[in-house]
């Protein structure tokens, strides 16, 4: 019944327009129609108008809405142009921004292409999947529970990492743009697809044939490097320190793995204590040798590249200079001297200055 009613209305409008053309003169009527369609029109206040078209909205409803909002001068004439000239393509749902005067074909072009408004969100390097889900929800891109549900499933990465139990480490940190209403699962798909693209283009070419199947180990190492490094030039050196320790059978003793273990246990309060180094978790590299079971955060491209191709250096130790850089050492004796200088003396001096 709805289709018959719309068809009847279409032919009725066409008949009225033809009658108007005959009555007013064919040329004058044609000129009016062409002018109405092709002349840029703006019937709303302000510089722009935002209109959200809900999924499932029909073309006629969309055009009527745009006419009411002052975007189109004549909805029925625009509908005729859409059907007869453009052959009735689909008008896409979404949120649209209309700026300044636009002709009917320009408006239709936006709707046909789906040129919707998008919003930017940045996911920084080193976040856990829970932190990424929280950030996306806080920025208004969806529900945290829905993000977590999608991120807790390893399905999207199962072909690359059959041992993955979730998407930790594979949600690539970057700046993204999404349209309003984009489903949480679709956003997660985009994060993983971006990881895949960066892996294929920026990481995989650095690997030898024997390392092509070690994606989980490389991403895990990269996630530790991401949490330790601040300077890009130090990432390959820090990766080498951990790779050398693994090669020599020395425990990693990486504080970020302890913090991750505490987060998983729900007992992280922002400060790591000496007693925390004994926490019983397979992610605690003070207690369990080798790499942790999986990534502890989402590494960026530089950390992934560093883990795939560590520097050729003999270092086994490093300590922070407290300015983002590190001092590296080959022997434990040298490392202990560095710790005394850059940690014990440094902090003793800082505390003394504060006490004055």
Domain chopping of the chain, boundaries: 34-116, 119-203, 213-355
Residue 226 confidence (pLDDT) above 90: yes
Tokens of 113: 């292409």
Instruction: Give the other-Cβ count within 10 Å of 274's Cβ.
Output: 6
Where do runs of H (alpha helix) occur along 99-167?
Answer: 104-113, 129-138, 144-151
* Furthest C-alpha separation in the chain: 102
The pLDDT score that the predictor gives to residue 10 is: 47
Tracing tokens 């050492």 back to the chain, one arrives at 329
3-state secondary structure of 267: coil
Q: Which residues of 83-120 are buried (b: 16+ CB within 10 A; e: fewer)?
A: eeeeeeeebbbbebebeeebbbeebbebbeeeebeeee
pTM (predicted TM-score): 0.83
* pLDDT in the model for residue 3: 46
Using CA atoms, how far apart are residues 219 and 303, in angstroms rounded to an integer?
9
Q: How much of the chain, in percent, has pLDDT values that exceed 90?
A: 76
Mean pLDDT over residues 181-202, rounded?
96
What does the block give as tokens for 175? Answer: 């700046």
Q: How far apart are CA 290 and CA 118, in angstroms?
A: 43
* Phi-psi sector, 91: left (phi>0), alpha (psi -120 to 50), beta: beta
Q: Which helix (H) or strand (E) holds 186?
A: helix 184-198
State yes or no: pLDDT of 348 exceeds 50: yes
CATH classification number, 34-116, choose in 1.25.40.10, 3.30.1490.480, 3.30.70.60, 1.10.40.60: 3.30.1490.480
Average pLDDT score over the chain? 90
Highest mean pLDDT among 46-50, 209-213, 238-242, 321-325: 238-242
Backbone φ and ψ for 270, nearest 5 degrees, come out as 100, -10
- Residue 325 sits at the vertex; the CA angle it makes with 195 and 328, to the nearest 5 degrees, is 100
């Amino acid at each position: 019944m709805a289709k018959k009613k719309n068809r009847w209305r279409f032919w009725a409008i066409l008949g009225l327009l033809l009658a108007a053309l005959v009555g007013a003169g064919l040329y004058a009527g044609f000129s009016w129609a062409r002018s109405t369609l092709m002349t840029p029109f703006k019937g709303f206040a302000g510089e722009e108008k935002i209109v959200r078209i809900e999924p499932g909205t029909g073309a006629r409803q969309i055009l009527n809405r745009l006419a009411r909002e002052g975007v189109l001068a004549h909805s029925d004439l625009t509908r005729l142009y859409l059907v007869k000239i453009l052959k009735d393509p689909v008008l896409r749902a979404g949120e649209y921004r209309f700026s300044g005067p636009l002709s009917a074909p320009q408006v239709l072009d936006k709707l046909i292409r789906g040129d919707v408004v998008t919003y930017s969100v940045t996911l920084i390097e080193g976040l856990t999947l829970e932190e990424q889900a929280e950030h996306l929800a806080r920025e208004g891109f969806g529900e945290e529970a829905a993000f977590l549900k999608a991120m807790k499933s390893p399905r999207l990465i199962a072909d690359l990492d059959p041992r993955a139990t979730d998407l930790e480490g594979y949600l690539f940190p970057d700046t993204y743009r999404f349209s309003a209403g984009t489903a949480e699962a679709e956003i997660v798909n985009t994060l993983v697809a971006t990881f895949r693209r960066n892996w294929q283009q920026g990481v995989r070419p650095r690997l030898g044939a024997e390392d092509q199947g070690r994606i989980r180990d490389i991403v895990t190492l990269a996630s530790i490097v991401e949490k330790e490094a601040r300077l890009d030039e130090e990432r390959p050196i820090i990766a080498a320190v951990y790779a050398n320790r693994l090669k020599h059978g020395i425990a990693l003793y990486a504080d970020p793995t302890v913090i991750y273990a505490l987060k998983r246990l729900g007992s992280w309060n922002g400060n790591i204590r000496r007693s925390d180094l004994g926490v019983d978790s397979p992610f605690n590299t003070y207690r369990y040798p080798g790499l942790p079971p999986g990534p502890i955060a989402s590494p960026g491209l530089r950390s992934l590249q560093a883990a795939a191709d560590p520097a050729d250096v003999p270092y086994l130790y490093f300590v922070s200079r407290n300015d983002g850089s590190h001092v590296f050492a080959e022997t434990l004796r040298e490392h202990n001297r560095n710790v005394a200088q850059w940690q014990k003396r440094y902090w003793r001096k800082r505390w003394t200055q504060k006490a004055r």
